[in-house]
Each structure stands twice: as C-alpha cells, then as structure tokens.
C-alpha cells in the first residue's frame, strides 16, 4: 500500500511528523493505482463552525469529509439556502476536501408516518448532494433501526421500506448505503446481505463498519471479505466490550488491528473512502475536543497503514 502526500501539514500542527493519511491501493491488475481517501465525519465536529471544521480537517491531512444531515448540524438540508449551498460548495473546493458521503439516521422499522418522513429526507439529501457536488454526488449513508431480537418479525417490512428508499434514491440519481449496527435488527453481515438481495437495486449499496461486528465476536477478515464487494463506504472507529454492553472509542483506543485492516484493503478492489466516525458515546462526554480527536485518529491510522505497507513488501 503506497502512501502519497496530498498537502503539507500546517506548520503549527503537532502531527507534522506523522505519515500522510492518503494512501494508494494497488489495482487488481497492477497496471494502475487507485487512491483510497481517508476522511473524517463532521458528525463528530458538531461544536465547531463548519468553516473551521473544514479548515481543521484539511490542515491535519484528511482528504475528505462526511456531512451530517441530522437536526442540530449546520449541514441539515433545511438549514441551507441556495446561496449557502453555493458557498459551501466553494468552501469544499477551496479546502481541497472531497465530499463522498452524507450521513443520516433512518429506520426501516419505522411506522408509516416516519417512513414517509424518511422518504422526504432522502429526497432532500439527493437535492443537497447534487447541489454540493454536481459531477459526483455524495451517497447517503445510514443505519437501519429496529432491534436484534425483532429481526424475524420485521425483516420483510424492513426490506419493503428499504426498497422504497432505493426507489426514491434512483429518482434522485444517487445512492443510499446502509450499514449494520450492533444494536439494530440488521447486526450481522448475513442480515445485511439478505436485505440487499431482497431490494436488488443499483441505488442500494453497503457501508462497512467493523466495530459493530467486533462486538459480536466476529473476525475482521471474515466480515471484510463478506461485505467489501458490495461496499462503497467505510466507517472506522474502535470498540470495547461485547454486544449488549459496549463502548465505542476512537481508532487506536480499542483492539482493532488497523495494520491488518490496511493489508485487507490493499488486497481488495475497494476504491472508496475510509472515514473516521466519532461515536456520540465519545463526543457527548464532558471535555470532548473534536480537533484533538481528529488528530489522534489521523495519527493512529497513518501509522497503522504505514506498517501495513511495510509488511506488504
């Protein structure tokens, strides 16, 4: 895995000695190299003004960001006028950050009223996606709701709901990527793949987040290999504990082997973003510092992926 430097660190950043986080994955045919970008989800920077969040992520060395569309965030679609969307598009261009994804928290286990609201959220997300990146609209990434024990009772209804999501995304000319969650009805690779097969739409893809599978005692390589072929987005964070009693933490504060992760990525055909997600369990704690969290995550992932590169030679 070959790392390439996309920008110089800001002189005042303490991370100047770290390996750059943009890394180039070997193409399967070895004739070309495709870049996998490392990003930070602004879900974990709610307390910062949007302009500052973009500046900080760019200075640290991240290549991309994910916007949260949830209430209370500056990027909630209804908070952005046409003029503000145009300005934000320019800010992204100026910062040299790409925008591969938008985040929302939808539930396919919702009642009819909430389901209708979710379809409106998808429409709004599509409009925002095209306004911000017309040539390559970001996808919409979401979990799926429900509870693990409810799966057999609600899986068919969830599939019908997600089919509606995909149909709405198709009309909006963008993609919805769904991910498993340790506390949701869709909490295993098997359930996630079953749901995707039932929907059977090019507008529905998968998002991979190993932290949720680790809590269930599943292996990184097994879950990665099962899902990466249909995944267009990756979230990275760490975890402690087990399903039912767990804590999400920053990358490097748990036990995920990111050097192994890097080797798996290098050997795969995945060419999407790898984005740090700071859990609400972290950013809701007193004293949380979003800039420090972004720096620590970047430093750990850079070092781990550099080790993966060294061992791969």
Domains identified in the chain and CATH numbers: 26-311 (3.20.20.150)
- Segment holding 240, helix H or strand E: strand 238-242
pLDDT in tens, 222-236: 999 999 999 999 999
Distance CA 81, CA 266 (A): 41
Confidence category of residue 238, pLDDT binned at 50, 70, 90 = very high
145, 108 contact by CB (below 8 A):
yes
The answer to whether residue 239 scores a pLDDT higher than 90 is no
Angle, helices 258-267 vs 290-311, to 10°: value is 60
* DSSP state letter for 301: H
143, 105 contact by CB (below 8 A):
yes
Nearest partner of 102 among 232, 2, 225, judged by Cα: 232
Placement of tokens 């100026």 in the chain: 94
pLDDT in tens, 256-302: 999 999 999 989 999 899 999 999 999 999 999 999 999 999 999 98
Confidence category of residue 34, pLDDT binned at 50, 70, 90 = very low
At residue 43, the 3 state secondary structure works out as helix
Q: Judging by beta carbons within 10 Å of its beta carbon (0-12, 13-18, 19+), is residue 33 exposed, middle or buried?
A: middle
233, 207 contact by CB (below 8 A):
yes
Radius of gyration of the CA atoms of the chain, in A: 19
Distance CA 313, CA 311 (A): 6
Q: Is the pTM of this model over 0.85?
A: yes
pLDDT in tens, 123-133: 999 999 999 99
Number of Cβ within 10 Å of residue 180's Cβ equals: 27
Confidence category of residue 197, pLDDT binned at 50, 70, 90 = very high
Q: Is the backbone of residue 41 left (phi > 0), alpha (psi -120 to 50) or beta?
A: beta
């Amino acid at each position: 895995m070959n790392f390439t430097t996309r920008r110089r660190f800001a002189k005042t950043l303490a991370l100047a000695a770290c390996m750059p986080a943009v890394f180039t994955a070997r193409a399967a045919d070895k004739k070309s190299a495709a870049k996998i970008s490392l990003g930070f989800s602004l879900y974990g920077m709610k307390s910062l003004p949007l302009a500052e969040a973009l500046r900080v992520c760019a200075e640290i060395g991240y290549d991309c960001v994910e916007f949260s569309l949830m209430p209370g965030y500056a990027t909630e679609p209804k908070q952005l006028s046409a003029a503000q969307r145009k300005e934000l598009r320019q800010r992204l261009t100026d910062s040299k950050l790409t925008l591969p994804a938008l985040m929302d928290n939808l539930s396919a286990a919702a009642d009819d009223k909430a389901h209708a609201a979710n379809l409106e959220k998808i429409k709004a997300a599509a409009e925002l996606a095209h306004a911000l990146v017309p040539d390559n609209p970001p996808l919409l990434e979401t979990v799926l709701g429900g509870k693990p024990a409810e799966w057999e009772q609600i899986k068919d209804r969830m599939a019908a709901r997600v089919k509606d999501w995909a149909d709405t995304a198709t009309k909006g000319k963008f993609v919805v990527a769904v991910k498993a969650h340790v506390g949701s009805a869709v909490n295993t690779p098997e359930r996630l793949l079953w749901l995707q097969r039932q929907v059977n739409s090019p507008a529905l893809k998968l998002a991979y987040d190993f932290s949720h599978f680790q809590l269930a005692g599943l292996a990184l390589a097994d879950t990665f290999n099962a899902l990466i072929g249909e995944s267009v987005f990756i979230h990275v964070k760490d975890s402690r504990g087990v399903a039912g009693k767990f804590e999400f933490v920053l990358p490097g504060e748990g036990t995920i082997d990111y050097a192994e992760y890097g080797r798996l990525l290098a050997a795969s055909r995945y060419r999407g973003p790898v984005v740090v997600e700071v859990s609400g369990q972290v950013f809701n704690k007193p004293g949380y510092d979003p800039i420090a969290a972004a720096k620590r995550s970047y430093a750990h992932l850079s070092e781990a992926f550099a080790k993966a590169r060294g061992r791969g030679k």
